[in-house]
Amino acid sequence: MMTKGEMTRQRIIEAAAPLFNKKGFEGCSIQDVVEATGIAKSGLYKHFESKEELAAASYQFAWGQVSKVRIQGIEKVDGSVQKLRYAVRRFVETPGIFPGGCPLLNTAIDTDDGNPVLRKLALASKTKWKDWLCGIVRDGVTRGEIRVGVEPRLVANTIIATLEGTLMISRLEGNVATMRDAQTALEWMLNGIAAS
Amino acid sequence: MMTKGEMTRQRIIEAAAPLFNKKGFEGCSIQDVVEATGIAKSGLYKHFESKEELAAASYQFAWGQVSKVRIQGIEKVDGSVQKLRYAVRRFVETPGIFPGGCPLLNTAIDTDDGNPVLRKLALASKTKWKDWLCGIVRDGVTRGEIRVGVEPRLVANTIIATLEGTLMISRLEGNVATMRDAQTALEWMLNGIAAS
Amino acid sequence: MMTKGEMTRQRIIEAAAPLFNKKGFEGCSIQDVVEATGIAKSGLYKHFESKEELAAASYQFAWGQVSKVRIQGIEKVDGSVQKLRYAVRRFVETPGIFPGGCPLLNTAIDTDDGNPVLRKLALASKTKWKDWLCGIVRDGVTRGEIRVGVEPRLVANTIIATLEGTLMISRLEGNVATMRDAQTALEWMLNGIAAS
Amino acid sequence: MMTKGEMTRQRIIEAAAPLFNKKGFEGCSIQDVVEATGIAKSGLYKHFESKEELAAASYQFAWGQVSKVRIQGIEKVDGSVQKLRYAVRRFVETPGIFPGGCPLLNTAIDTDDGNPVLRKLALASKTKWKDWLCGIVRDGVTRGEIRVGVEPRLVANTIIATLEGTLMISRLEGNVATMRDAQTALEWMLNGIAAS
DNA sequence: ACCTACGGGACGTCCCGTTTAT
DNA sequence: ATAAACGGGACGTCCCGTAGGT
């Protein structure tokens, strides 16, 4: 069971995560969190040692939410290429899962010259995501669904790069439809690596 | 010829641009610019009405520098597909042209929930870049170098998205080599759209 | 007889009353009471529902102590004017009965823009004191010791005002001797209202 | 001429003085002043080194306002006893000059176990007031308007004590009319000291 | 052209009154 | 009966962007 304190901690995280994701670490003030939670500043510091710790927990929460949605239902998909296609489709179709967009993209840029703790978390997210995609590709090669010689890392990196890049663009343009272009292009690539 | 005032203005911009690009609009303080230029705080206000105006000029400068390098030499390249290939290669091979990385990427994320003036500039950059790529594709179709039916917008968007996305990843990983994966993938795509 | 719990309650009050009287309601913290009693903070809450209740009980105790001393021996005094004279003298001669000075004065000022519960208690004290003095005056008129037409309320109010006012001054000056001036002036007044 | 900063300082004092007078030094928070002035906390600290300095300046202002009103018009009054009578009357008739009541009374009690800086200011006010009254009495004796042998200090102290005491009572009762009783009693006293 | 003053947002800490769990 | 947890108000400082005064 959850103690009252743990529940409050969770409540804070859930309120803070969208703010940090939207405004960035520096851009989101403790005062913002205070207003969003209704909890006084010093109350927040009872649950988190520092703003950094709160931001880190918020990132983890946000990324957890986002990745949960992005892989949802993939276990029912058969075939490695189909799985990759599905993963791309899920991403493209859920651009607004979390307020402020993709936490990985935001945090990676936001911390480029900034907070190293958050940066590490973003890197870890990215690595895990890449490894997961690599695994699918490798499986596909093993099972003969993907052509031998296809570099799993290259496929994974391209998928991630193209998706995140297109997300950035679509947000800049305020037009989610743009993401379909990336989807199409990635499907071309997947067709290309599929074993004939 | 440049007046003394204009030269000072230019000197400020050149010093400020890397700072804004690295730290973002909020993250870069006037004080930072003071230290970089050696000009007093209120001295800066003689040349720029506000921090925003300075940041805007800095962005324009940074983007100008970056895009100049990225298209450098393309006029000597023959053939639309070749031109696109070249554009991709230039991007991949010049990841560190400007301190802080790609101003478009940085500003797009930085201003996602922030400064609308800078946001507009970023969008304009992106649009111009896209239109330029679209033009090349369209040319290619006209000249029979690219298959009929290929959507210029899709190609342009995919190139930009993949390149910017991979830049983000390579910066996060601290490993520029990753960008080669994106290059390879984009070359597959370009092969795919080339007229047989 | 007193139960153990009641004794503890009483012990707390006796320790807290001087603190509240000296520091005021806001100025005296529960922690102060903890240190004075050696009882843990949450232990206090077994005996009092809130700080306010503790402060109220403390006020009642303090006022009880003070007024007991101030009327001590008056039953042996004959004659209304003599009684009034005696009351004034007792007040003047016992300026340090209770640590922190007169609870009525302190609480009246302290709660002027503050706690209404304590304020009511102070008002009740004052009213009771005034009524008691009024009674003596009225008696004196009835018995022919005080001139007809003398307003009991005026006499009572003046005695209280002058005594409390002089107490304030003497505390401010750190010089108790000043109170003799008030005593003299009040005796002039009492001489004035005495029936010739 | 007043610089902008000096004007702001004055504006702060005028807004803060009623607050400190009503709530006391501890009871009035910087946040209260922030809200009353619309100036941010750190803005206030540009004009005052500490809360104490702000409170001191506020006290001086409040006391200045109050005493200005209380002596207003006295220069037109002839005769020492008449002057004293006038001073009493002014006090009684202007009980609400300043929000929160008499700053001297409030500060004297508020700082009884508290701030020594403010305490000193209150004492200084009281001393000056007393000396002023003493001067009038002494003059009266010299000019033969007041009986020889009358102790100026006693008269001054009694006037102050009775007025401040009655102010406290009237505020506690929420009834300003009570102050007339003190006025009457003080006039008896003044009649008593007047040379026949 | 600079130095200083100005007013502001955010930060993290202190201690407080109260409640919860032991 | 106590220790620990909880949420809160207030504090004073830092640095920021901007505006005046010299």
pLDDT tens by residue, C44-99: 999 999 999 999 999 999 999 999 999 999 999 999 999 999 999 999 999 999 99
Residue D1 pLDDT > 90, yes or no? no
pLDDT band at B114 (very low <50, low <70, confident <90, very high): confident
Q: Average of pLDDT values for B144-154?
A: 97
pLDDT band at B132 (very low <50, low <70, confident <90, very high): very high
**Which amino acid type is present at position D121?**
L
Residue B2 pLDDT > 80, yes or no? no
pLDDT band at B5 (very low <50, low <70, confident <90, very high): confident
Q: What is the pLDDT of residue A87?
A: 98
Residue D161 pLDDT > 90, yes or no? yes
Instruction: List, for residues D22-36, the tens digit of each pLDDT value.
Output: 999 999 999 999 999
- Asked if residues A6 and A27 have their Cβ atoms less than 8 Å apart, the reply is no
Q: Average of pLDDT values for D34-40?
A: 95
Instruction: List, for residues B81-104, the tens digit of each pLDDT value.
Output: 999 999 999 999 999 999 999 999
Tell me if B22 and A126 make a contact (CB, 8 A cut-off).
no
Q: Measure the CA–CA gap between B66 and B119, rounded to whole angstroms.
A: 18
Q: Measure the CA–CA gap between A86 and B40, rounded to whole angstroms.
A: 56
Distance from CA of B6 to the nearest CA of A (A): 30
Residues 6+ apart with CB under 8 A from C157: C130, D166, D169, D178, D181, D182
Q: Average of pLDDT values for B50-60?
A: 97
Among A167, A163, A164, A160, smallest CA distance to A130 is for: A160
Instruction: List, for residues C148-166, the tens digit of each pLDDT value.
Output: 999 999 999 999 999 999 9
For A19, nearest residue in chain B (alpha carbons): B113
Residue B121 pLDDT > 70, yes or no? yes
D171 touches chain C (CB under 8 A): yes
**Backbone angles phi and psi of B194, in degrees to 5:** -65, 140
Which chains sit next to D, with 3 or more Cβ pairs under 8 A?
C
Chain C 52..71 CB hits on strand E (< 7 A): 52
For B27, nearest residue in chain A (alpha carbons): A26
Residue B37 pLDDT > 70, yes or no? yes
Angle of helix D4-27 relative to helix D30-37, nearest 10 degrees, comes to 140
Residue D87 pLDDT > 80, yes or no? yes
Residue C2 pLDDT > 70, yes or no? no
Residue whose structure tokens are 């005491």:
D165
pLDDT band at C1 (very low <50, low <70, confident <90, very high): low
Instruction: List, for residues A115-157, the tens digit of each pLDDT value.
Output: 999 999 999 999 999 999 999 999 999 999 999 999 999 999 9
Q: Average of pLDDT values for B40-47?
A: 93
Residue D85 pLDDT > 80, yes or no? yes
Tell me if B106 and A109 make a contact (CB, 8 A cut-off).
yes
**Backbone angles phi and psi of A49, in degrees to 5:** -65, -30
pLDDT band at B140 (very low <50, low <70, confident <90, very high): very high
Task: Please report, rounded to a whole number, the percentage of residues in chain C having pLDDT higher than 90.
Answer: 94
Q: Average of pLDDT values for B141-157?
A: 97
Residue whose structure tokens are 């500060």:
D107
A113 touches chain B (CB under 8 A): yes
> B17-21, C3-7, C177-181: lowest mean pLDDT where?
C3-7
| Dihedral angle sign, alpha carbons of residues D169, D175, D178, D183 | positive
Instruction: List, for residues A40-54, the tens digit of each pLDDT value.
Output: 999 999 999 999 999
Q: What is the pLDDT of residue B7?
A: 87
Which chains sit next to B, with 3 or more Cβ pairs under 8 A?
A
Chain D 19..38 CB hits on strand E (< 7 A): 38
pLDDT band at D2 (very low <50, low <70, confident <90, very high): confident
A18 touches chain B (CB under 8 A): no
Q: What is the pLDDT of residue C3?
A: 78
Q: What is the dihedral of CA C35, C41, C46, C47, to 10 degrees?
A: 30
Q: Write down the H helix ranges in chain B.
A: 4-27, 30-37, 41-47, 51-71, 80-93, 103-110, 116-142, 152-173, 179-193
Chain D 34..93 CB hits on strand E (< 7 A): 38-43, 46-47
Mean pLDDT (chain B) is 95
pLDDT band at A114 (very low <50, low <70, confident <90, very high): confident
- The DSSP output letter for B172 is H
Chain E bases closer than 7 angstroms to a protein Cβ:
1-21
Could you check: is the Cβ of residue A53 within 7 Å of any atom of nucleic acid strand E? Answer: no
Distance from CA of B130 to the nearest CA of A (A): 11
Mean pLDDT (chain A) is 96
Chains C and D touch (3+ CB pairs under 8 A): yes
pLDDT band at D5 (very low <50, low <70, confident <90, very high): confident
Q: What is the pLDDT of residue B1?
A: 59
Q: What is the pLDDT of residue A1?
A: 64
Q: Which residues pair with B116 in a beta bridge?
A: none
Chains B and C touch (3+ CB pairs under 8 A): no
